[in-house]
Amino acid sequence: MPGFEVIGKEEFAEIKHLFDKSKILFRHSFDHLRNEVYKVKEFEEAFAKRMKVPHALAVTSGTAALRVALAALDIKEGDEVITQSFTFVATVEAIIESRAIPVITEIDTTLNMDPADLEQKITDKTKAIIVVHMLGVPARLREIKKIADRHGIPLIEDTAWGCGGYYDDIPLGTYGDIGTYSFDFAKTMTTGEGGMIVFKDENLYKKAAAWHDHGHENNPEFPRWEDSRSSSGFNYRMNEMQGAVGLAQLKKLDYVVDEQRKNANIIKESISDLPIEIRTMPDGSFETSDALVFITDSNERARKCRDALIKIGLGTKILPEAISWHFAGTWDHMPELVQRNEGDLTKAFPKSLDLLNRSVSLPIAINMLDRFQIKIREALTSVLHS
């Protein structure tokens, strides 16, 4: 959560540098006016280096990142794209925007994609899998990648919540074929709005770069209006101000994740003897600890936990209060999803519904309440022992 908590003089210095030296807010062209200042390009290069991949493409949001990733994979009308029941609506919106059919798996106690259900849902129309590291805990990537590879299906990691995390020492977002990130204001690093896509494959990167820019196959040798094009596209370009802020935020990413993890571990320790089950972290996980989720014995108990946490001035994050934006079983405003699930979403994902109904998500920040672990323990003890 706390990218915005650490916004300070470094972000301001990057913006000041942009305005002092260049004043060009568009990522391309105007070369004679910009004094070699290319903030978005510099941000992409720094992000690719941090994530140890050859290519990164900055875009306007995490939703745009998913849409562009699907375009790079040539996802077309009638193709099926599989994702998980617990995610933000954006993941499924990107599939629908690509005119593909969203297919949804159950989650397991990691609260991410259940690999066994993934295997069941693959058909010969499946053209991509989007696994989500919800609230900063890595999905079971080893199993999921093995399944994807066995079927020859590309794997996209929706890393909106997982930026700065690892799985088996590999940065989240780079385990599969394409990784997407969000830098909206609630994320571990933020550019206000914004996103990034990372690629190992140069061709996928080139297709995405063109598609996010009306099809421009950018060639620095020619003026922009002479660019060649091989496909249609759209406009999801990041601007220079976002790039400038991103450069400063990226330098703070490891600090933010370390502080979040420290605070999450303190809470975990203080509530370890309470009758709850902490969400499963797969072996090999290095989570971003954006939130700490635990599972209670009933929805009533989860709601009481929320009430008690509000009383101490903390509240909860997504679970249980905002489940309707994050659980596919409630998205009856999406006809594509309803149709696919025989007209009734309420019964489509029973295992996920049961887990999510009983879950409580503690928001983790850098600057927590004074004596937060003691207050949280007291608040939860009163509810869980009643």
Ligand X SMILES: Cc1ncc(COP(=O)(O)O)c(C=O)c1O
Place of tokens 């990034």: 196
Using the minimum distance from each CB to ligand X, give the nearer residue, 37 or 135. Answer: 135
Q: Bridge partners of 105?
A: 84
Cα separation, 152 vs 154, whole angstroms: 7
Residues 43, 48, 51, 54, Cα dihedral to 10°: 180
The stretch near ligand X (CB under 6 A) out of 19-27, 35-43, 59-67, 210-218 is 59-67
Tell me the closest approach of the beta carbon of residue 184 to ligand X, in angstroms: 4
Cα separation, 50 vs 99, whole angstroms: 33
Q: Interface with ligand X includes 113 (CB under 6 A)?
A: no
Tell me the closest approach of the beta carbon of residue 269 to ligand X, in angstroms: 28
Tell me the closest approach of the beta carbon of residue 127 to ligand X, in angstroms: 19
Using the minimum distance from each CB to ligand X, give the nearer residue, 190 or 357. Answer: 190
Residues 292-321 within binding reach of ligand X (CB under 6 A)? none
Q: Interface with ligand X includes 249 (CB under 6 A)?
A: no
Tell me the closest approach of the beta carbon of residue 61 to ligand X, in angstroms: 3
Cβ contact 132:155 at 8 Å? no
Place of tokens 């420290």: 262
Q: Alpha-carbon torsion 107, 113, 119, 125, what sign?
A: positive
Structure tokens of 360?
A: 């409580």
Options 157, 158, 287, 290; binder of ligand X; rule CB under 6 A: 158
Cβ contact 196:57 at 8 Å? yes
Q: Interface with ligand X includes 173 (CB under 6 A)?
A: no
Cα separation, 235 vs 219, whole angstroms: 17
Q: Interface with ligand X includes 115 (CB under 6 A)?
A: no
Using the minimum distance from each CB to ligand X, give the nearer residue, 22 or 112. Answer: 112
The stretch near ligand X (CB under 6 A) out of 157-165, 242-250, 352-360, 361-369 is 157-165
Burial class (CB within 10 angstroms; exposed 0-12, middle 13-18, buried 19+) of 367? exposed
Using the minimum distance from each CB to ligand X, give the nearer residue, 185 or 251. Answer: 185
Q: Interface with ligand X includes 327 (CB under 6 A)?
A: no
Q: Interface with ligand X includes 85 (CB under 6 A)?
A: no
The stretch near ligand X (CB under 6 A) out of 21-29, 56-64, 272-280, 338-346 is 56-64
Give the C-alpha distances (Å, rounded to integers) separating 249 from 153, 190, 244: 33, 7, 9
Tell me the closest approach of the beta carbon of residue 368 to ligand X, in angstroms: 22
Q: Interface with ligand X includes 184 (CB under 6 A)?
A: yes
Burial class (CB within 10 angstroms; exposed 0-12, middle 13-18, buried 19+) of 93? middle
Options 37, 43, 55, 62; binder of ligand X; rule CB under 6 A: 62
Q: Interface with ligand X includes 88 (CB under 6 A)?
A: yes
Tell me the closest approach of the beta carbon of residue 9 to ligand X, in angstroms: 25
Q: Bridge partners of 344?
A: none
Q: Interface with ligand X includes 182 (CB under 6 A)?
A: yes
Cα separation, 146 vs 293, whole angstroms: 27
Residues that bind ligand X (CB under 6 A): 61-63, 87-88, 90-91, 132, 158, 160-161, 182, 184, 195
